[in-house]
Amino acid sequence: MQWPAPAPHSPLVLPAAQGALPPLPELAARLAAAAGRSEPEPVGGALALRRAAADYWARRGLPTAPDQVLAGPGAQPLLLTLLALMGGDVLLTRPSAAWYAPLARLADRPTYHAPAPAECGGVPDPFALLETVRRIRKEGGAPRVLLLAVADDPTGTVAPPELLHEVCEAAEAEDLLIVSDETWRDTVHTTPGVQPLPPERAGTAPADPAERERQQTQTVLVSPAEMVPDRVVVLTDLAGALMPPSWPAAITRFPACERGRVLRARLLAALSAVRAELPAPVAAAAQHALTEPAAVRARMAAAARAYGVVGTAAYQGLTDLGVLCRPPRAGRHLYADVEELRGPLADRGIADSVDLERHLTRRLGYPVPGGYQFGDAPDTLRIRLPTLPLLGADDEQRLAALAAAAPLELPHGTAALTLFMAAFNELTGGAEASPEAPGS
């Protein structure tokens, strides 16, 4: 079933609207140094940038040649053009990122949702996917593209490799092309006190028992391009972990087969027609970020750890109040279901996710989008909760949180978590009075 588009009073929640960590000085210097360049960047990215992107993927277990890569000014224009070129109907997971379905509509592609399994978001339940594809075909549709996210916005979860393998098998059986949004793959949360695996070793199975036990304490992320390489296009927005969203840049990886070469050539032609090249200063910063120098690696590790700390604290606080949500494993979001509170919420005039969005946004002082923006039915009581505000309200506070061993013990971290929990205590009827959001 296709739900209506977001209500006009509630703007679509795009990644650039979610806030971010401040840019690294090293990357800002690269951007500033290239500000005087007058020659435009080649459409799709210069060879050096594409080589840096290829090496980035190779370190993550995806051997890639520069001629399999294209770069563009953000994930949205790249995905929009891809969907227009691929043709056919688009299958999404329910819930899925808020910007997927509007781009499919803009490309004049019908969209259909298959529900996520209980253990994670980002990918559909494989049996529900098969059933949805067969129903679409029975009704005269032409399912062609499966858009998924192994590290998911909005749920903050990571698809287990064995489940992802079943989804890929189903997609292959039904001849679906897969677009794998891997924007958040470098934000997988790390266990406190445990160093993250280097990218080239993630997902391996070592013979040494001690090393195997060490890996089992961490979330394993695998790309579908490792499972069905000839039918997967990988899309990565660098705003996920490498650059701020104010410098829009994204990269795409195409299969090393004839279909991949044809699709890449068509995308390059379309991007050329609309002059969708990266601005030269942004390209310089992106190329440097993709080489992952020490400062970039340190920032990614600090951010993943901090996201894990605040995400776990928020999750534990919510579940203690009886709110349902999956435990976060990546990124900076939780997806909460407060259906059990429908009675108390109705007493407050909250009947659906639009009302819940309005109430919590006003109460917390930052955007808290309702589930209807992510493909759920409007009358459900689901909400996406950002955890970035728990690290601080400005760059100075967020940098302090990244450097702290216990970010929620900083005064601003404690205050942010207290406000967050007070808002939900009120919804459950567990608080008479509570702190107010700044400026409310």
Write out pLDDT tens, residues 140-191: 999 999 999 999 999 999 999 999 999 999 999 999 999 999 999 999 998 5
Alpha helix (H) residue ranges in 139-232: 161-173, 209-216
Q: Which pLDDT does position 215 carry in this prediction?
A: 40
Write out pLDDT tens, residues 296-346: 999 999 999 999 999 999 999 999 999 999 999 999 999 999 999 999 999
Q: Which pLDDT does position 216 carry in this prediction?
A: 38
Q: Is the pLDDT of residue 6 over 70?
A: no
Write out pLDDT tens, residues 56-105: 999 999 999 999 999 999 999 999 999 999 999 999 999 999 999 999 99
Asked if 250 and 256 count as a contact pair (C-beta separation under 8 A), the reply is no
Dihedral angle over CA of 5, 8, 10, 16, nearest 10: 80
Per 3-state DSSP, what percentage of the chain is helix, strand, and coil (rounded to 5)? 45, 10, 40
Task: Look up residue 184 and give its two tokens.
Answer: 């958040």
- Which domains does the chain show, CATH number per domain? 16-294 (3.40.640.10), 297-427 (3.90.1150.10)
Considering the entire predicted model, what is its pTM? Answer: 0.90
Q: Is the pLDDT of residue 8 over 90?
A: no
Gap between the Cα atoms of 245 and 75, Å rounded:
11
- Compute the mean pLDDT over every residue in the chain, rounded to the nearest whole number: 90
Asked if 276 and 73 count as a contact pair (C-beta separation under 8 A), the reply is yes
Gap between the Cα atoms of 172 and 381, Å rounded:
34
**What average pLDDT does this structure show over 127-142?**
97
Write out pLDDT tens, residues 222-253: 999 999 999 999 999 999 999 999 999 999 99
